[in-house]
């Protein structure tokens, strides 16, 4: 991979191109230079030879006999291996070692001849029409007594120079190729040397970017790469610390948010959910846990959420609303929608409070006040009416006055009972009632009431049955409180069971709890009313209860007392069949003997 990395390939290509350019430049320049040297040497050699021949020619003949000249030319050309030409001052070729002079054109215009005719040594390199190859020429004028007699020209083919230069070129190329190959190999090794730590560093940086903060950064030297590696490693450690801190913070925040009973929903500007704690999902009836990234309307059918989010974002203000949830378990929710910080508003946070219970309690309290007034008013009105009747003459009516006084007494008693119950309930509910909580034998409490209850049951024509376990049943409670519970449940059982029926009081339980049950075969309570009978003043049949002397507070007192002792109350009942009230209390384990 390192060998193929783009940077190393680039580096290699640049270096290779540089190498190639240098090699070509070097070979071309050296070749050119070499050719010049060889040509110069050749020219010098030709000039020296021409001078020697000219001296020799001067001695050969004074006349210009063509035959003599031709023989001299042929003879010497053979010896020195060069072409020799003799030309008269008019440019007419007198003799030539390679061609018949008579067939040769006038040579006065040939550059080397022209220079010689002008008195200097002439030289030229060109293609010869006569011998049809490139030749190097040197021409010298031969004078006798200062008069130009003849031009001596010698020539040799240039291809010998070309051959020499080509040989040198070949060697140069071999050398350049060898040097190039070595330097390219070194380039590759060098590129690898540079790229290896760089590529390791890149891999490590990519791993860190992908979240692997534990990935070690390879150690490098003290060069720039080493400095970079140390900087990346420092960055990695800082990032790791920051990410850990952030993770801890968000975990803390998530724990806080998820343990809240208020629902928290964060939504971005596109109405996509950023966060929803467990309470918000529960309150809105959202079943899927993965809601992040989905739109509000996708996760919840409550359009009001979306509208509140839009309004809060548009007006950049907190929107407060109340609404009832859809679905089977209807809850009343208060919603507070606030813009997240930023401009434009990047989203909203919606806080949901379940105010169902609060509203119910408010209603209960309001009803309670109304009920108390009403309950107090009824007997008072009766007392007032009877007193008025007496004052207006009935006092002297010996036949009826006693009856009216009795009625006043009854109503006063009812008022008294009501006030006693109200005071007791208020004390129990407020938690101010000072209970004497200690170990109480529940079976004994029941047994103590047996004879009184038996009489009251018989008086109503009811059969009372008491079922107690053999072992004592110890609970932690206030004895008077237990008696109040039992009295109320028994009184109700008597009241709401027609004569001939049966009331059973029994105690049972398990290792941890004792259960006191009061069962009757009376009128029973419908399922709808079962949920409400523990409310204050709630009576299934108001008139009947009132006639029977009930205040509607008995079961509320029983419930609160039971809860004060750490227990709970349950009711099983069927209309027309009877009811069973069960008080489940934590058991006090018997002391070791
Ligand atoms: P009350 O003084 O009217 O009896 P309670 O709080 O004791 O008030 O009871 C509330 C209502 O529950 C009663 O009015 C009655 O309608 C119903 N109730 C209580 N106990 C029984 C029972 N054993 N059988 C049938 N109805 C009962």
pLDDT in tens, 45-56: 899 999 999 988
Fold of the domain built from segment(s) 8-164: Beta-Lactamase (3.30.450)
- Nearest atom, ligand 1, residue 518 CA: 23
Identical fold between 8-164 and 436-588: no
Give the CATH number of domain 359-428.
Answer: 1.10.287.130
The per-residue pLDDT for range 180-190, each reduced to its tens digit, is 888 888 878 87
Average pLDDT in the chain? 87
CA of 454 from ligand 1 middle (Å) equals 20
Cα distances (angstroms) measured from residue 2 to each of 200, 233, 282: 9, 22, 55
- pLDDT-derived band at 593 (thresholds 50, 70, 90) equals very low
* H helix intervals, 461-565: 479-495, 527-530, 542-547, 554-564
Cα 492 to ligand 1 centre (Å): 6
Query: In the beta sheet, which residues pair with residue 290?
Result: none
Give the Å distance between the CA of 530 and the centre of ligand 1: 10
Residue among 324, 325, 333 nearest 353 (CA): 333
What is the torsional sign of CA 357, 361, 366, 370? Answer: positive
For residue 578, which atom of ligand 1 is closest to its CA? 24
The residue behind tokens 């029983």 is 558
pLDDT at 141: 93
Cα–Cα dist 217/199, whole Å = 11
Which residue, judged by its Cα, is nearest atom 13 of ligand 1? 539
Alpha helices, DSSP H, located in 277-400: 278-284, 296-299, 303-315, 356-391
CA distance 54 to 469: 161
Strand partners, 354: 333
Span 89-137, pLDDT tens digits: 999 999 999 888 888 889 999 999 999 999 888 999 888 877 788 889 9
Tell me what pLDDT residue 468 has.
Answer: 93
Distance from residue 243's CA to the centre of ligand 1 (Å): 63
- Distance from the alpha carbon of residue 589 to the mean position of ligand 1, in angstroms: 33
The residue whose CA is least distant from atom 23 of ligand 1 is: 493
Ligand 1 centroid – CA 440 distance (Å): 27
pLDDT, residue 1, reads: 45
Q: What is the dihedral of CA 433, 435, 441, 445, to 10 degrees?
A: -40
**Is residue 479 within 8 Å of 441, Cβ to Cβ?**
no
Res 74: pLDDT: 92
Contact between residue 199 and residue 205 where contact means Cβ atoms under 8 Å apart: no
Residue 192, both tokens: 């690898």
pLDDT value for 90: 92
Please check the confidence at residue 544 and state whether its pLDDT lies above 80.
Answer: no
Contacts by residues 36-41 (CB-CB < 8 Å, ≥ 24 positions apart): 38/161, 38/164, 38/165, 39/125, 39/136, 39/161
Query: Nearest residue CA, atom 25 of ligand 1?
Result: 524
Regarding the domain with residue range 260-354, which homologous superfamily does it belong to in the CATH classification? PAS domain (3.30.450.20)
What spacing in Å lies between the alpha carbon of 533 and ligand 1's midpoint?
7
Mean pLDDT value across residues 454-476: 93
Question: Residue whose CA is closest, atom 4 of ligand 1?
Answer: 550
pLDDT at 337 over 90: yes
Antiparallel, parallel or unpaired: β 133-144 and 122-128: antiparallel
Mean pLDDT, residues 341-346 taken together: 88
Q: Indicate if the pLDDT at residue 150 is higher than 50.
A: yes
CATH fold group of domain 436-588: Heat Shock Protein 90 (3.30.565)
Pocket test for ligand 1, best of 417, 495, 505 (most atoms within 8 A of CB): 495
User: 190 burial class (0-12, 13-18, 19+ CB within 10 angstroms)?
Assistant: middle
Q: Residue 307 has what pLDDT?
A: 93
**In this model, does residue 2 exceed pLDDT 60?**
no
Q: What are residue 215's phi and psi, to 5 degrees? A: -60, 125
**For atom 12 of ligand 1, which residue has the closest CA?**
533
Which residue ranges have their beta carbon within 6 Å of ligand 1? 488, 492-493, 496, 520, 522-525, 533, 538-541, 545, 550-556, 579
Q: What is the pLDDT of residues 555-568, one digit of tens each?
A: 999 999 999 999 99
For residue 150, what are its two tokens?
């003849």
Which residues does 137 contact at the CB level (< 8 Å), separation at least 6? 46, 110, 112, 122, 123, 124, 125, 126, 153, 154, 155
| Per-residue pLDDT band at 63 (split at 50, 70, 90) | low
Domain range list for the chain: 8-164, 260-354, 359-428, 436-588
Strands 463-467 and 437-441: unpaired
pLDDT greater than 50 at residue 519: yes
Supply the residue whose CA is at minimum distance from atom 19 of ligand 1: 492
* Lowest-pLDDT range of 7-16, 329-338, 520-529: 7-16
Give residue 376 CA to ligand 1 midpoint distance, Å.
19
Residue 509 Cα to ligand 1 middle (Å)? 25
Residue of 77, 168, 162 lying closest to 127 (CA atoms): 162
State in Å: Cα 574 to ligand 1 middle. Answer: 14
| Alpha-carbon gap, residue 164 to 156, rounded angstroms | 14
What's the pTM? 0.50
How do residues 252-271 score in pLDDT, each as one tens digit?
988 898 889 999 999 999 99
Q: What is the pLDDT of residue 62?
A: 65
273-321, pLDDT tens digit by residue? 998 998 999 898 888 878 889 998 888 888 999 999 999 999 888 999 9
- Of 497, 533, 576, the one to substitute when testing ligand 1's pocket (max ligand atoms within 8 A of C-beta) is 533
What share of the chain has pLDDT > 90, as a percent? Answer: 44
Mean pLDDT, residues 193-212 taken together: 81
Instruction: Report the nearest-CA residue for atom 18 of ligand 1.
Output: 492
Kind of pairing, strands 263-268 and 578-586? unpaired
What's the rounded Cα separation, in Å, for the pair 283 and 260? 12
Residue 226: pLDDT over 90: no
* Mean pLDDT, residues 236-240: 88
Instruction: Output the CA 552–ligand 1 centroid distance in Å.
Output: 7
> For residue range 405-447, what is the model confidence (pLDDT) as tens digits?
999 999 999 899 889 888 888 888 877 667 888 899 999 999 9
Which amino acid residue places its CA nearest to atom 2 of ligand 1? 550
The rounded distance, in Å, linking the Cα atoms of 491 and 550 is: 9
Q: In the structure, what pLDDT confidence band is assigned to residue 5 with cuts at 50, 70 and 90? A: low
To test the pocket of ligand 1, the residue of 492, 493, 560 to mutate (highest count of ligand atoms within 8 Å of its CB) is 492
Average pLDDT over every residue of 8-33: 83
């Amino acid at each position: 991979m390192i060998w193929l990395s783009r940077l190393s390939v680039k580096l290699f290509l640049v270096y290779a191109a540089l190498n190639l350019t240098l090699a070509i430049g070097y070979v071309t320049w050296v070749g050119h230079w070499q050719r010049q040297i060889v040509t110069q040497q050749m020219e010098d050699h030709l000039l020296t030879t021409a001078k020697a021949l000219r001296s020799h020619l001067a001695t050969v003949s004074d006349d210009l006999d063509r035959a003599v000249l031709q023989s001299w030319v042929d003879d010497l050309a053979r010896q020195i291996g060069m072409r020799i030409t003799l030309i008269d001052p008019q440019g007419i070729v007198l003799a030539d070692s390679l061609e018949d002079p008579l067939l040769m054109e006038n040579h006065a215009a040939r550059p080397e001849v022209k220079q010689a005719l002008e008195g200097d040594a002439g030289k030229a390199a060109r293609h010869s029409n006569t011998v049809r190859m490139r030749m190097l020429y040197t021409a010298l004028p031969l004078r006798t007594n200062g008069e130009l007699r003849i031009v001596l020209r010698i020539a040799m083919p240039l291809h010998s120079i070309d051959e020499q230069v080509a040989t040198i070129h070949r060697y140069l190329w071999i050398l350049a190729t060898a040097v190039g190959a070595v330097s390219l190999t070194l380039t590759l090794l060098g590129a690898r040397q540079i790229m290896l730590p760089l590529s390791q560093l890149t891999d490590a940086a990519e791993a860190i970017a992908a979240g692997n903060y534990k990935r070690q950064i390879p150690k490098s030297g003290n060069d720039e790469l080493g400095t970079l590696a140390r900087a990346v490693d420092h960055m990695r450690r800082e990032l790791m610390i920051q990410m850990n801190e952030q993770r801890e913070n968000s975990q803390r925040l998530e724990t806080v948010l998820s343990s809240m009973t208020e629902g928290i929903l964060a939504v971005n500007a596109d109405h996509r959910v950023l966060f929803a704690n467990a309470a918000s999902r529960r309150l809105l009836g959202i079943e899927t846990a993965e809601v992040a990234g989905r739109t509000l309307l996708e996760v919840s059918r409550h359009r009001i959420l979306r509208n509140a989010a839009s309004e809060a974002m548009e007006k950049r203000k907190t929107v407060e609303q109340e609404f009832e949830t859809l679905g089977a378990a209807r809850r009343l929710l208060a919603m507070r929608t606030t813009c997240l910080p930023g401009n434009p508003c990047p989203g909203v946070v919606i806080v949901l409070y379940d105010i169902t219970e609060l509203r119910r309690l408010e209603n209960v309290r309001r009803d309670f006040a109304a009920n108390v007034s009403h309950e107090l008013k009824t007997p008072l009105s009766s007392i007032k009416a009877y007193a008025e009747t007496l004052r207006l003459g009935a006092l002297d009516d010996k036949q009826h006055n006693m009856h009216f006084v009795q009625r006043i007494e009854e109503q006063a008693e009812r008022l008294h009972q009501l006030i006693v119950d109200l005071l007791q309930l208020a004390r129990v509910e407020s938690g101010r009632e000072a209970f004497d909580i200690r170990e109480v034998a529940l079976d004994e409490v029941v047994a103590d009431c047996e004879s009184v209850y038996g009489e009251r049951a018989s008086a109503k024509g009811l059969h009372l049955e008491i079922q107690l376990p053999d072992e004592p049943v110890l609970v932690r409670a206030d004895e008077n409180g237990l008696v109040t519970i039992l009295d109320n449940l028994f009184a109700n059982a008597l009241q709401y069971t027609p004569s001939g029926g049966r009331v059973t009081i029994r105690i049972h339980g398990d290792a941890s709890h004792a259960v006191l049950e009061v069962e009757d075969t009376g009128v029973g309570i419908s399922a709808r009313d079962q949920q409400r009978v523990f409310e204050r003043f709630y009576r299934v049949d108001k008139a009947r209860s009132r006639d029977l002397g009930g205040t509607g507070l008995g079961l509320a007192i029983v419930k609160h007392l039971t809860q004060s002792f750490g227990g709970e109350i349950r009711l099983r009942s069927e209309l027309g069949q009877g009811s069973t009230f069960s008080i489940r209390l934590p058991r006090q384990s018997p002391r070791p003997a």
